[in-house]
Amino acid sequence: MKTINDSMAQEHRRCDELFVEMEQAIMQHRWSEAERLCRDFTVAMEHHFKIEEELLFPVLLKATAEARGPVNVMLAEHAQMRQLMSQLVDSLDNMSRTLSAGYVETLLVTMQQHNMKEESILYPMADETVPAVGDAIAKAYSESV
């Protein structure tokens, strides 16, 4: 059976792939494609955040007090990434496209560090304490496709 870490890490990889496509379009100044790819990327990220915030984190917090610190850090980083994504969307919309490369760079670093923390700390903790939530996560993802 797939662990929570397996399913969620797979979703991180999917978001990474969408990110790379978007980044290439921005770097090559293919603006209309960049806007479309940016929409796909932000939708996938928002969906992933929602599964964590509404499904995984609440169950984990209920199960163990140890999760409080790491979950708070993850929530703060989600807020940071949401802010960066909205700045990126605005920069692509508002004729300030030269700024978009900067947002993409910051977003990449923040996202990589965030995902690494989840995959090495938070998801293993979830697999240990609330493995059953893996089924609900798999279901949430299968319904979204």
133 binds Fe ion (CB under 5 A): no
Interface with Fe ion by CB under 5 A: which range of 16-24, 35-43, 92-100, 116-124?
Answer: 116-124
Site for Fe ion in 51-70 (CB under 5 A): 52
23 binds Fe ion (CB under 5 A): no
- Locate tokens 């140890």: which residue? 66
The only residue of 37, 118, 130, 137 in contact with Fe ion, by rule CB under 5 A:
118
The tokens of 74 are what?
A: 């993850």
Interface with Fe ion by CB under 5 A: which range of 38-46, 88-96, 118-126, 130-138?
Answer: 118-126
User: Distance between CA 33 and CA 11 in Å, rounded?
Assistant: 22
User: Distance between CA 46 and CA 24 in Å, rounded?
Assistant: 21
84 binds Fe ion (CB under 5 A): no
Least Å distance between CB 87 and Fe ion?
19
Interface with Fe ion by CB under 5 A: which range of 27-35, 96-104, 113-121, 128-136?
Answer: 113-121
15 binds Fe ion (CB under 5 A): no
71 binds Fe ion (CB under 5 A): no
User: Distance between CA 116 and CA 96 in Å, rounded?
Assistant: 31
122 binds Fe ion (CB under 5 A): no
Q: Cβ-count burial of 53 within 10 angstroms (0-12 exposed, 13-18 middle, 19+ buried)? A: middle
Residue 30, SS3 per DSSP: coil
Amino acid in position 96: S
- Locate tokens 């923390």: which residue? 117
Positions that interact with Fe ion (CB under 5 A): 52, 74, 118
